[in-house]
Structure 1
Amino acid sequence: MGATAKPAGTANGNPYAQLVWAMGKTGILGYGGGPSVIPLIRYEAVTKYGWMDDEEFGEILAIANALPGPIATKMAAYLGYRQKGALGAVVSVLAHIVPSAVAMVALLAFVDYLSNSAVVQGMIVAVMPVISVMLGVMAYEFAKRAYKGLGRWMVIVFCAVSFGLFQLLSVHPAIVIVLFLAYGAVHYKLVDRWKNKSASPRKEGGTP
């Protein structure tokens, strides 16, 4: 959380090797898939390799959430494309999904046994708090950036609106994301217009 990301593209080493290693780890260690993998991808992309900063990662995450398909796969594709174009995207996605797919096939015969194993159940229960903390830390960092960009009251209002849409009205997350993206596209224009309207009466009244 305090680490400063290096400028994108400045990490040493072979970009393809970095993509394979980074996305392979996220695919194997990303318990639960989906949102639980995002903190791992963020660490690799922002903190370790410096492919982008937190602000860009947050923007890409928001856009990826609004698009159909698994979020982790979309993030892997974008990171690969950003580093090495279309071939990088293919390498990144394959590195993310192939190891876990191979593991699934290899362990298919043991699925029934593992699903009823007390040891496996204990491992699942034990890892859940870790995933919760990882998601919480990432949410806190995004909230800090939102506070700097929008201000305290706007963040509170947006959080309340999001909670109402998700929990009370059961609106699909993609719809909520699209609505907030649409607002974000015109946010600063609305703020500037409001400031200009507030300043106009003072100018007309001769207030210095």
Structure 2
Amino acid sequence: MTHKHIFLAFLRVGLLGYGGGPAAIPLVQKEVVENYKWMTDDEFSDMLAMGNTLPGPIATKLAGYVGYRVSGIGGMLNALVASVLPTVILMIILLTTLSTFRDLDWVQGMTRGVIPVVAVLLGVLTWSFIEKSNKDLGWLKVTFLIVISVLLIQTLGLHPAVIIAALIIYVLTKPTGAQKGGESS
């Protein structure tokens, strides 16, 4: 039964994740955290952060990790096939069809109409991450990290993975309260 659920979860993501990896992230989160409860929100956030530091499409990285975590190598392969198969089939069908009708107004309008929907999906996911971060860090630190990240990405053209990796390294290497000084009696 687990393989069936893995396949259905990632098939839905593959079918509905129009717009690429960023559009698929909220869908994966809905399936993995809310529908099947294979992970908590915190675990999903950690997986997403780590996945963004690695090369390759995020949707397949998430599918591979979740599938492996839930049901080993078989689950990983199952999730990868389920998430990629709809895209491959739809690419062949749509590109053949759209190339024939690409100059028609309704085809161009359909393509432009999807962009706001993807933006809303990403906005909702972003807001949930901000709320989670606020609980852990507080609004001041969250706002500071958002502003610094946006400035580094937009002004310096720094890749988001570099910022994520730097923050992970910082968190792993920073001294904790118990390590800073001895306990006083």
Structures share a fold, TM > 0.5? yes
Q: Does 1:164 align with 2:175?
A: no
Correspondence 1:42 to 2:29: yes
Cα distance change, pair 123–107 in 1 and its aligned pair in 2 (3 A): closer
| 2:72 equivalent to 1:85 | yes
Separation (CA, whole Å) in 2 of partners of 1:125 and 1:132: 12
Q: Using CA pairs under 8 Å that are at least 6 residues apart, name the structure with larger relative contact order, 1 or 2.
A: 2
The residue matched to 2:55 in structure 1 has which SS? coil
What letter corresponds to residue 48 of structure 2 in structure 1? Answer: L
Write the deviation string for residues 3-23 of structure 1: whole angstroms up to 9, x where unpaired: xxxxxxxxxxx1111111111
TM-score (norm 1): 0.81
Query: Whole-Å Cα distance in 1 between the matches of residues 178 and 138 of structure 2?
Result: 17
- The residue number in structure 2 matching 1:120 is 107
Q: Could you say which residue in structure 1 is the equivalent of 2:4?
A: 17
Alignment correspondent of 2:138: 151
In 2 relative to 1, CA 104–87 (structure 1 residues): closer, same or farther, beyond 3 Å? same
Indicate how the Cα distance of structure 1 residues 111 and 120 shifts in structure 2: closer, same or farther if over 3 A, else same: closer
Q: TM-score, normalised by structure 2?
A: 0.90
| Residue 17 of structure 2: aligned partner | 30
Summarize the Cα distance change of 1:126–1:108 in structure 2 as closer, same or farther, 3 Å threshold: closer
Alignment CA distance shift 1:193-1:96 (3 Å) = same
Per-residue deviation, 1:60: 0.1
Cα distance between partner residues in 1 of 2:152 and 2:132: 22
Deviations 1:86-135 (A, max 9, x none): 11000100110012202222344323124323222222222222211111
Q: How far does residue 81 in structure 1 lie from its aligned partner after superposition?
A: 0.4
Per-residue deviation at 1:151? Answer: 1.7
> Structure 2: which amino acid aligns with 1:152?
W
Which residue identity does 1:57 align to in structure 2? F
* Structure 2 counterpart of 1:67, one-letter code: L
1:171 is paired with a residue whose SS is: coil
Gaps of 5+ in 1: 1-13, 204-208
- Deviation of residue 196 (structure 1)? 6.1
The sequence identity of aligned pairs, in percent, is: 38
Residues of 2 paired with 1:124 and 1:193: CA distance?
A: 55
Gaps spanning 5+ residues in structure 2: where? none
Q: What's the CA shift for 1:193?
A: 6.5
C-alpha contact 2:68 2:75 (8 A) present in aligned 1? yes
Aligned partners of 1:117 and 1:62: how far apart in 2? 40
Answer yes or no: is the 8 Å Cα contact 2:98–2:107 preserved in 1: no
Q: Deviations over 1:26-84 (max 9, x none)?
A: 11211110211100111111111111111110000000000111001000001100110
Greater C-alpha radius of gyration: 1
The secondary structure found in structure 1 opposite 2:37 is: coil
Asked if structure 1 preserves the Cα contact closer than 8 Å seen for 2:9 and 2:31, the reply is: yes
After superposition, the CA RMSD in angstroms is 2.2
| Contact 2:25-2:59 at 8 Å conserved across structures | yes
Paired with 2:135 and 2:173, the residues of 1 have a C-alpha distance of 17
**Corresponding residue to 2:124 among 137, 149, 161:** 137
